[in-house]
Structure 1
Amino acid sequence: MIHLLLPFALAAVLAGSGVYGVLARRNAVLMLVGVELILASASLILVTMSTTLPDDAAAGQILTIFVITLAAAEVTLALGIILAAFRLRGHIDLTERLDDDAAHAPVDDRTDGRVTS
């Protein structure tokens, strides 16, 4: 049987890498990879604990499959949003202010409500 320190150490490394990826990166796709690393570390802890505790229902492994399913749905939705933002803005840099795009928007300078560019 494997010692419990090894999976927990690996989960800590995965979580640390994920947190670094979320905090240090400006690219939305790389931030999404960081979030997925954090979810993988949580899943590793769930599987490790479910194998060590006497549980006939295997709740940790079932919950891990549920987490993987939710992560797949999250990636699909997030990549769709990122792709739409890339098509709209031309980049996916999340640190740029959203007000910069509003400065280049068409201005309503007439009193009748029509928009001109």
Structure 2
Amino acid sequence: MTGKVMKVGIMSRDEYRERTLAIARGEYKPKRGEPKIWFESIQSMAQVLSSENQELLRIIVEQKPKSIKELEAATGRKSSNLSRTLKLMARFGIVDLVRENKTVCPIVKATDFQVEFGLHKHFAKKAA
């Protein structure tokens, strides 16, 4: 199963805020291929992309459930748990939750992940 690769980065909240403000001021332009999704820590990334959640993504890709109820039947997970997990993944752009009539259909946007992090600054402002 090969699909869309999503680049994710890990950056502290303070560094992310500094980066966002530098972009807004025009002092920094994100480079091509830079992650679009940032986690605050390896732990926060691990919560969202846990083995259990990776399996959930795999089931969605393979079985293409048309609703949370269908996904509940396929996974054995309660719909309240699935909704919470899917909303979190949607916030990070990993899934889309498409509303059709009164049902929500989960669609996986990324099946493979590249993680970028290090001890250095993730961006540098242009010299004044």
For normalisation by structure 2, the TM-score amounts to: 0.23
Larger radius of gyration: 1
More helix by share: 1
Q: Which has the higher contact order (CA 8 A, sep 6+)?
A: 2
Q: TM-score, normalised by structure 1?
A: 0.25
